[in-house]
Amino acid sequence: MKFGTKAIHAGIEPDPSTGAIMTPIYQTSTYIQHTLGGHQEYAYARSQNPTRTALQNNLAALENGKHGICFSSGVAAIDAVIKLFNPGDEIISTNDLYGGTYRLFTQVYERYGIKFKFVSMLEAEGIAAHITDKTKMIWVETPTNPMMNIIDIAAVAKLSTGNKIILAVDNTFASPYLQNPLDLGADIVMHSVTKYLGGHSDVVMGALVVNDDELAQKLAFIQNSCGAIPGPQDCFLVIRGIKTLHLRMERHSQNGKTIAAYLKNHPKVEKVYWPGFEDHPNHEIAKKQMRDYGGMISFSLVGNMESDVKKVMENFQIFALAESLGGVESLCGHPASMTHASIPREEREKVGLVDSLIRLSVGVEDAEDLKNDLAQALGKI
Protein backbone atom coordinates (compact mmCIF):
# COMPACT_ATOMS: atom_id res chain seq x y z
CA MET A 1 0.00 0.00 0.00
CA LYS A 2 1.10 3.56 -0.71
CA PHE A 3 1.29 6.21 2.00
CA GLY A 4 -2.13 7.88 1.63
CA THR A 5 -3.92 4.53 1.63
CA LYS A 6 -1.99 3.39 4.69
CA ALA A 7 -2.76 6.65 6.50
CA ILE A 8 -6.48 5.91 6.13
CA HIS A 9 -6.61 2.12 6.36
CA ALA A 10 -3.53 0.50 7.93
CA GLY A 11 -4.35 -1.17 11.24
CA ILE A 12 -7.93 0.12 11.16
CA GLU A 13 -10.69 -2.52 11.12
CA PRO A 14 -14.44 -1.82 11.19
CA ASP A 15 -15.91 -2.42 14.66
CA PRO A 16 -16.76 -6.15 14.79
CA SER A 17 -20.01 -5.69 16.71
CA THR A 18 -21.61 -2.85 14.71
CA GLY A 19 -19.56 -2.35 11.55
CA ALA A 20 -18.78 1.25 12.60
CA ILE A 21 -16.17 2.42 10.11
CA MET A 22 -14.38 4.57 12.70
CA THR A 23 -12.52 2.82 15.50
CA PRO A 24 -14.66 3.20 18.66
CA ILE A 25 -13.31 5.00 21.72
CA TYR A 26 -13.02 2.09 24.17
CA GLN A 27 -13.47 4.18 27.30
CA THR A 28 -12.88 1.38 29.78
CA SER A 29 -10.32 0.58 32.45
CA THR A 30 -10.80 -3.18 32.47
CA TYR A 31 -12.24 -6.11 30.50
CA ILE A 32 -14.35 -9.05 31.67
CA GLN A 33 -12.36 -12.27 31.82
CA HIS A 34 -14.30 -15.32 30.68
CA THR A 35 -12.21 -17.98 32.36
CA LEU A 36 -10.18 -17.96 35.53
CA GLY A 37 -6.45 -17.95 34.81
CA GLY A 38 -6.94 -17.89 31.03
CA HIS A 39 -4.95 -15.54 28.81
CA GLN A 40 -6.72 -12.85 26.85
CA GLU A 41 -5.37 -10.00 24.73
CA TYR A 42 -7.24 -7.32 26.68
CA ALA A 43 -7.11 -7.58 30.48
CA TYR A 44 -6.39 -4.12 31.89
CA ALA A 45 -6.33 -0.81 30.01
CA ARG A 46 -2.87 0.37 31.13
CA SER A 47 -1.53 -2.69 29.28
CA GLN A 48 -3.83 -2.69 26.23
CA ASN A 49 -6.71 -0.71 24.80
CA PRO A 50 -8.27 -1.44 21.37
CA THR A 51 -8.38 2.24 20.31
CA ARG A 52 -4.69 2.52 21.19
CA THR A 53 -3.88 -0.76 19.42
CA ALA A 54 -5.44 0.52 16.18
CA LEU A 55 -3.38 3.73 16.36
CA GLN A 56 -0.17 1.86 17.23
CA ASN A 57 -0.60 -0.46 14.25
CA ASN A 58 -1.34 2.47 11.98
CA LEU A 59 1.76 4.37 13.11
CA ALA A 60 3.94 1.28 12.66
CA ALA A 61 2.69 0.98 9.06
CA LEU A 62 3.37 4.66 8.32
CA GLU A 63 6.99 4.30 9.50
CA ASN A 64 7.49 0.95 7.71
CA GLY A 65 8.03 -0.67 11.12
CA LYS A 66 6.59 -3.71 12.84
CA HIS A 67 5.72 -2.28 16.25
CA GLY A 68 4.20 1.05 17.31
CA ILE A 69 4.02 2.08 20.97
CA CYS A 70 2.15 5.20 22.09
CA PHE A 71 2.82 7.37 25.15
CA SER A 72 1.08 10.19 26.97
CA SER A 73 3.51 12.75 25.45
CA GLY A 74 6.55 13.01 23.20
CA VAL A 75 8.87 13.37 26.18
CA ALA A 76 7.28 10.29 27.80
CA ALA A 77 8.27 8.34 24.66
CA ILE A 78 11.86 9.65 24.94
CA ASP A 79 11.83 8.81 28.66
CA ALA A 80 10.94 5.19 27.84
CA VAL A 81 13.88 4.96 25.41
CA ILE A 82 16.36 6.20 28.05
CA LYS A 83 15.03 3.61 30.52
CA LEU A 84 16.54 0.92 28.27
CA PHE A 85 19.96 1.95 29.64
CA ASN A 86 21.95 1.57 32.86
CA PRO A 87 24.14 3.84 34.98
CA GLY A 88 27.52 4.25 33.27
CA ASP A 89 26.10 3.89 29.76
CA GLU A 90 26.86 6.69 27.32
CA ILE A 91 24.56 8.32 24.80
CA ILE A 92 25.73 10.58 21.98
CA SER A 93 23.19 13.20 21.00
CA THR A 94 22.81 15.95 18.41
CA ASN A 95 23.89 19.29 19.89
CA ASP A 96 21.00 21.36 18.53
CA LEU A 97 18.28 19.46 20.21
CA TYR A 98 14.66 20.05 21.19
CA GLY A 99 14.84 21.88 24.56
CA GLY A 100 12.62 19.39 26.39
CA THR A 101 14.80 16.49 25.27
CA TYR A 102 17.92 18.33 26.44
CA ARG A 103 16.30 19.02 29.81
CA LEU A 104 15.25 15.37 30.24
CA PHE A 105 18.75 14.15 29.39
CA THR A 106 20.73 16.62 31.50
CA GLN A 107 18.44 17.41 34.43
CA VAL A 108 16.82 14.02 34.99
CA TYR A 109 18.92 11.19 33.58
CA GLU A 110 22.41 12.53 34.28
CA ARG A 111 21.40 12.23 37.96
CA TYR A 112 20.84 8.52 37.37
CA GLY A 113 24.40 8.08 36.08
CA ILE A 114 23.70 8.00 32.33
CA LYS A 115 26.23 10.12 30.42
CA PHE A 116 25.30 12.33 27.47
CA LYS A 117 27.68 13.84 24.92
CA PHE A 118 26.26 16.60 22.73
CA VAL A 119 28.05 16.80 19.40
CA SER A 120 27.54 18.37 15.99
CA MET A 121 26.41 15.72 13.51
CA LEU A 122 26.55 17.84 10.36
CA GLU A 123 29.53 15.69 9.33
CA ALA A 124 28.44 12.18 10.37
CA GLU A 125 32.04 10.90 10.26
CA GLY A 126 32.92 13.24 13.15
CA ILE A 127 30.73 11.18 15.51
CA ALA A 128 33.16 8.25 15.39
CA ALA A 129 35.67 10.10 17.60
CA HIS A 130 33.10 10.22 20.43
CA ILE A 131 32.23 6.50 20.44
CA THR A 132 33.61 4.43 23.33
CA ASP A 133 32.89 0.87 24.51
CA LYS A 134 30.26 2.42 26.83
CA THR A 135 28.33 4.10 24.00
CA LYS A 136 24.88 2.51 23.79
CA MET A 137 22.83 4.92 21.72
CA ILE A 138 23.06 7.76 19.20
CA TRP A 139 20.16 10.24 19.37
CA VAL A 140 19.47 12.21 16.19
CA GLU A 141 16.98 14.93 15.40
CA THR A 142 16.62 16.05 11.76
CA PRO A 143 15.63 18.62 10.57
CA THR A 144 16.80 20.39 13.71
CA ASN A 145 14.98 23.06 15.64
CA PRO A 146 15.12 25.97 14.89
CA MET A 147 18.10 26.14 12.49
CA MET A 148 16.70 23.50 10.10
CA ASN A 149 20.00 21.65 9.85
CA ILE A 150 19.93 18.24 8.17
CA ILE A 151 21.73 15.15 9.49
CA ASP A 152 22.53 12.22 7.19
CA ILE A 153 20.60 9.37 8.85
CA ALA A 154 22.02 6.61 6.63
CA ALA A 155 25.60 7.75 7.32
CA VAL A 156 25.00 7.78 11.10
CA ALA A 157 23.32 4.36 10.81
CA LYS A 158 26.49 2.91 9.27
CA LEU A 159 28.47 4.04 12.31
CA SER A 160 25.92 2.76 14.81
CA THR A 161 25.40 -0.66 13.20
CA GLY A 162 29.14 -1.27 12.94
CA ASN A 163 29.49 -0.53 16.66
CA LYS A 164 26.28 -2.30 17.82
CA ILE A 165 24.81 0.99 19.02
CA ILE A 166 21.09 1.77 18.93
CA LEU A 167 20.24 4.63 16.57
CA ALA A 168 17.15 6.61 17.57
CA VAL A 169 15.74 9.40 15.39
CA ASP A 170 13.31 12.07 16.57
CA ASN A 171 11.23 12.35 13.38
CA THR A 172 8.78 14.95 14.71
CA PHE A 173 9.71 17.79 12.32
CA ALA A 174 9.54 15.63 9.19
CA SER A 175 6.57 13.37 10.07
CA PRO A 176 6.45 9.87 8.52
CA TYR A 177 5.19 11.41 5.28
CA LEU A 178 8.46 13.25 4.61
CA GLN A 179 11.00 10.83 6.09
CA ASN A 180 11.19 7.19 7.27
CA PRO A 181 14.31 6.69 9.43
CA LEU A 182 13.86 2.88 9.83
CA ASP A 183 14.30 2.54 6.05
CA LEU A 184 17.60 4.42 6.41
CA GLY A 185 18.94 2.10 9.11
CA ALA A 186 17.60 3.58 12.37
CA ASP A 187 16.46 1.22 15.15
CA ILE A 188 13.93 3.51 16.87
CA VAL A 189 11.78 6.31 15.43
CA MET A 190 10.33 8.74 17.93
CA HIS A 191 7.48 11.21 17.36
CA SER A 192 5.90 13.99 19.29
CA VAL A 193 2.46 12.98 17.96
CA THR A 194 1.30 16.35 19.36
CA LYS A 195 2.69 17.99 16.21
CA TYR A 196 2.09 16.88 12.57
CA LEU A 197 0.60 13.44 13.31
CA GLY A 198 -2.21 14.84 15.49
CA GLY A 199 -2.11 17.91 13.29
CA HIS A 200 -4.99 19.85 14.81
CA SER A 201 -3.45 21.29 18.01
CA ASP A 202 -5.81 19.30 20.24
CA VAL A 203 -3.75 16.38 21.62
CA VAL A 204 -0.47 15.84 23.48
CA MET A 205 0.98 12.40 22.68
CA GLY A 206 4.20 10.57 21.82
CA ALA A 207 5.11 7.41 19.92
CA LEU A 208 7.95 5.02 19.18
CA VAL A 209 8.17 2.72 16.17
CA VAL A 210 10.67 -0.16 15.92
CA ASN A 211 11.25 -3.27 13.82
CA ASP A 212 13.14 -5.49 16.24
CA ASP A 213 10.81 -7.79 18.25
CA GLU A 214 13.04 -7.90 21.33
CA LEU A 215 13.47 -4.12 21.42
CA ALA A 216 9.70 -3.70 21.00
CA GLN A 217 9.09 -6.07 23.88
CA LYS A 218 11.49 -4.16 26.16
CA LEU A 219 9.82 -0.84 25.30
CA ALA A 220 6.31 -2.25 25.77
CA PHE A 221 7.44 -3.60 29.17
CA ILE A 222 8.62 -0.09 30.13
CA GLN A 223 5.38 1.44 28.82
CA ASN A 224 3.30 -0.93 30.94
CA SER A 225 5.56 -0.77 34.01
CA CYS A 226 5.92 3.01 34.10
CA GLY A 227 2.40 3.75 32.86
CA ALA A 228 2.77 6.83 30.63
CA ILE A 229 -0.03 5.73 28.29
CA PRO A 230 -2.37 7.95 26.25
CA GLY A 231 -6.14 7.81 26.85
CA PRO A 232 -8.51 6.28 24.28
CA GLN A 233 -10.13 9.60 23.34
CA ASP A 234 -6.73 11.06 22.45
CA CYS A 235 -5.95 7.94 20.40
CA PHE A 236 -9.20 8.41 18.50
CA LEU A 237 -8.39 12.06 17.74
CA VAL A 238 -4.97 11.06 16.38
CA ILE A 239 -6.43 8.23 14.25
CA ARG A 240 -8.76 10.85 12.78
CA GLY A 241 -5.94 13.38 12.34
CA ILE A 242 -3.70 10.89 10.52
CA LYS A 243 -6.36 10.19 7.87
CA THR A 244 -5.40 13.52 6.26
CA LEU A 245 -1.67 13.49 7.12
CA HIS A 246 -0.57 13.09 3.48
CA LEU A 247 -2.89 15.88 2.30
CA ARG A 248 -1.80 18.20 5.08
CA MET A 249 1.90 17.49 4.55
CA GLU A 250 1.58 18.18 0.81
CA ARG A 251 0.04 21.57 1.58
CA HIS A 252 2.48 22.34 4.44
CA SER A 253 5.33 21.65 2.00
CA GLN A 254 3.79 23.68 -0.85
CA ASN A 255 3.11 26.63 1.45
CA GLY A 256 6.56 26.22 2.99
CA LYS A 257 8.14 26.53 -0.44
CA THR A 258 6.10 29.62 -1.33
CA ILE A 259 6.79 31.37 1.99
CA ALA A 260 10.51 30.47 2.04
CA ALA A 261 10.94 31.93 -1.47
CA TYR A 262 8.95 35.04 -0.53
CA LEU A 263 11.07 35.68 2.57
CA LYS A 264 14.32 35.08 0.70
CA ASN A 265 13.55 37.99 -1.62
CA HIS A 266 12.29 40.33 1.10
CA PRO A 267 14.56 43.38 1.68
CA LYS A 268 14.07 43.30 5.48
CA VAL A 269 15.00 39.62 5.80
CA GLU A 270 18.66 38.76 6.42
CA LYS A 271 18.69 34.97 6.11
CA VAL A 272 16.13 32.19 5.60
CA TYR A 273 16.70 28.67 6.91
CA TRP A 274 14.78 26.01 4.95
CA PRO A 275 16.23 22.70 3.67
CA GLY A 276 14.53 23.02 0.27
CA PHE A 277 16.92 25.77 -0.88
CA GLU A 278 19.68 24.53 -3.17
CA ASP A 279 22.18 26.64 -1.22
CA HIS A 280 21.17 25.07 2.14
CA PRO A 281 24.44 23.46 3.39
CA ASN A 282 22.94 19.94 3.51
CA HIS A 283 20.35 20.28 0.74
CA GLU A 284 21.66 17.20 -1.09
CA ILE A 285 21.15 15.03 2.00
CA ALA A 286 17.67 16.47 2.54
CA LYS A 287 16.87 15.66 -1.10
CA LYS A 288 18.11 12.11 -0.64
CA GLN A 289 16.33 11.27 2.62
CA MET A 290 13.17 13.42 2.53
CA ARG A 291 10.18 13.28 0.21
CA ASP A 292 9.66 17.05 0.39
CA TYR A 293 10.84 19.87 2.66
CA GLY A 294 7.91 20.67 4.91
CA GLY A 295 6.58 23.88 6.38
CA MET A 296 9.10 24.70 9.13
CA ILE A 297 11.08 27.85 8.31
CA SER A 298 13.29 30.16 10.36
CA PHE A 299 14.46 33.62 9.30
CA SER A 300 16.41 36.54 10.73
CA LEU A 301 15.95 40.27 10.17
CA VAL A 302 18.33 42.78 8.63
CA GLY A 303 19.94 44.75 11.49
CA ASN A 304 19.08 42.04 14.05
CA MET A 305 17.08 44.45 16.24
CA GLU A 306 14.98 43.02 19.04
CA SER A 307 12.53 45.93 18.70
CA ASP A 308 11.92 44.95 15.06
CA VAL A 309 11.15 41.34 16.03
CA LYS A 310 8.60 42.60 18.52
CA LYS A 311 6.94 44.76 15.86
CA VAL A 312 6.74 41.92 13.36
CA MET A 313 5.53 39.27 15.76
CA GLU A 314 2.95 41.46 17.48
CA ASN A 315 1.50 42.61 14.16
CA PHE A 316 0.86 39.23 12.61
CA GLN A 317 -2.86 38.70 11.96
CA ILE A 318 -2.75 35.03 10.91
CA PHE A 319 0.56 33.66 12.28
CA ALA A 320 -0.26 33.12 15.96
CA LEU A 321 2.44 33.58 18.59
CA ALA A 322 2.53 30.19 20.32
CA GLU A 323 4.69 27.24 21.35
CA SER A 324 4.30 24.02 19.32
CA LEU A 325 4.14 23.37 15.58
CA GLY A 326 2.67 21.07 12.97
CA GLY A 327 -0.98 22.04 13.29
CA VAL A 328 -3.24 23.22 10.47
CA GLU A 329 -2.96 26.82 11.70
CA SER A 330 0.20 28.86 11.08
CA LEU A 331 2.23 29.69 14.19
CA CYS A 332 5.27 31.82 14.89
CA GLY A 333 7.79 31.59 17.68
CA HIS A 334 10.83 33.51 18.95
CA PRO A 335 13.48 30.90 19.84
CA ALA A 336 15.83 33.36 21.63
CA SER A 337 13.19 34.21 24.25
CA MET A 338 10.99 31.09 24.11
CA THR A 339 12.36 27.61 23.34
CA HIS A 340 16.09 28.45 23.53
CA ALA A 341 16.11 31.15 26.23
CA SER A 342 18.25 29.00 28.55
CA ILE A 343 21.16 28.86 26.07
CA PRO A 344 23.75 31.68 26.58
CA ARG A 345 23.73 34.31 23.79
CA GLU A 346 27.32 33.61 22.57
CA GLU A 347 26.48 29.89 22.25
CA ARG A 348 23.27 30.65 20.38
CA GLU A 349 24.84 33.14 18.02
CA LYS A 350 27.58 30.69 17.00
CA VAL A 351 24.94 28.57 15.24
CA GLY A 352 22.98 31.54 13.81
CA LEU A 353 20.33 31.62 16.54
CA VAL A 354 20.36 35.43 16.80
CA ASP A 355 17.89 37.66 18.69
CA SER A 356 15.96 38.48 15.52
CA LEU A 357 15.39 34.85 14.50
CA ILE A 358 11.71 34.02 13.96
CA ARG A 359 10.50 30.44 13.53
CA LEU A 360 7.41 29.76 11.46
CA SER A 361 5.27 26.65 11.44
CA VAL A 362 3.55 27.28 8.14
CA GLY A 363 0.00 25.92 8.27
CA VAL A 364 -2.36 24.81 5.53
CA GLU A 365 -4.18 28.13 5.00
CA ASP A 366 -4.09 29.82 1.57
CA ALA A 367 -0.50 30.82 0.79
CA GLU A 368 -1.59 34.21 -0.61
CA ASP A 369 -3.07 35.19 2.77
CA LEU A 370 0.06 34.03 4.59
CA LYS A 371 2.28 36.06 2.24
CA ASN A 372 0.08 39.13 2.77
CA ASP A 373 0.32 38.67 6.52
CA LEU A 374 4.12 38.54 6.35
CA ALA A 375 4.15 41.57 4.02
CA GLN A 376 2.06 43.74 6.35
CA ALA A 377 3.92 42.65 9.51
CA LEU A 378 7.38 43.16 7.98
CA GLY A 379 6.10 46.50 6.65
CA LYS A 380 5.79 47.74 10.25
CA ILE A 381 9.57 47.82 10.69
Ligand X SMILES: *Cc1c(COP(=O)(O)O)cnc(C)c1O
> Which residues make up the interface to ligand X (CB under 6 A)?
73-75, 98, 100-101, 141, 145, 170, 172-173, 192, 194-195, 204, 206
In degrees rounded to 5, what are phi and psi of residue 189? Answer: -110, 130
The catalytic residue among 79, 96, 98, 109 is: 98
> Is the bond preceding residue 146 a cis peptide, omega within 30 degrees?
yes
Least Cβ distance, residue 111 to ligand X (angstroms): 20
Nearer to ligand X, 71 or 236 (CB): 71
Strand blocks (E) in the chain: 67-71, 90-94, 115-119, 135-141, 166-170, 188-192, 206-210, 269-273, 296-301, 320-321, 331-333, 358-361
Least Cβ distance, residue 308 to ligand X (angstroms): 26
Least Cβ distance, residue 72 to ligand X (angstroms): 8
User: How far is the first Cα of the chain from the last one, in angstroms, to the nearest whole number?
Assistant: 50
273 labelled catalytic: no
Q: What letter does residue 363 receive in the DSSP assignment? A: -
Nearer to ligand X, 296 or 364 (CB): 296
Q: 188 - beta bridge partners?
A: 168, 210
CB atoms within 10 A of CB 249: 26
Least Cβ distance, residue 112 to ligand X (angstroms): 20
Number of residue whose CB is nearest ligand X = 74
Separation CA 207–CA 52 (nearest Å): 11
Separation CA 358–CA 50 (nearest Å): 41
Least Cβ distance, residue 334 to ligand X (angstroms): 16
What separation in angstroms does the CA of 161 have from each of 139, 194, 211? 14, 30, 14
Separation CA 308–CA 125 (nearest Å): 40
Least Cβ distance, residue 101 to ligand X (angstroms): 6
| Distant-in-sequence contacts of 341-346, Cβ < 8 A, 24+ apart | 342/99
96 labelled catalytic: no
- Give how far the C-alpha of residue 11 lies from the chain's centroid of Cα atoms, to the nearest Å: 21
187 labelled catalytic: no
Nearer to ligand X, 85 or 173 (CB): 173
Least Cβ distance, residue 47 to ligand X (angstroms): 22
The catalytic residue among 79, 170, 308, 373 is: 170
Nearer to ligand X, 147 or 367 (CB): 147
Separation CA 50–CA 150 (nearest Å): 37
Separation CA 53–CA 39 (nearest Å): 18
User: Residue-wise over 269-283: b if at least 16 C-beta within 10 A, else e?
Assistant: beebbbbbbeebebb
44 labelled catalytic: no
In DSSP notation, 85-126 reads: --TT-EEEEESS--HHHHHIIIIIGGGGT-EEEEE--SSGGG
Least Cβ distance, residue 78 to ligand X (angstroms): 7
Give the residue from 168, 164, 213, 206 showing the smallest Cα distance to 186.
Answer: 168
The catalytic residue among 52, 83, 115, 195 is: 195
Nearer to ligand X, 149 or 301 (CB): 149
Catalytic sites, residue numbers? 46, 98, 170, 195
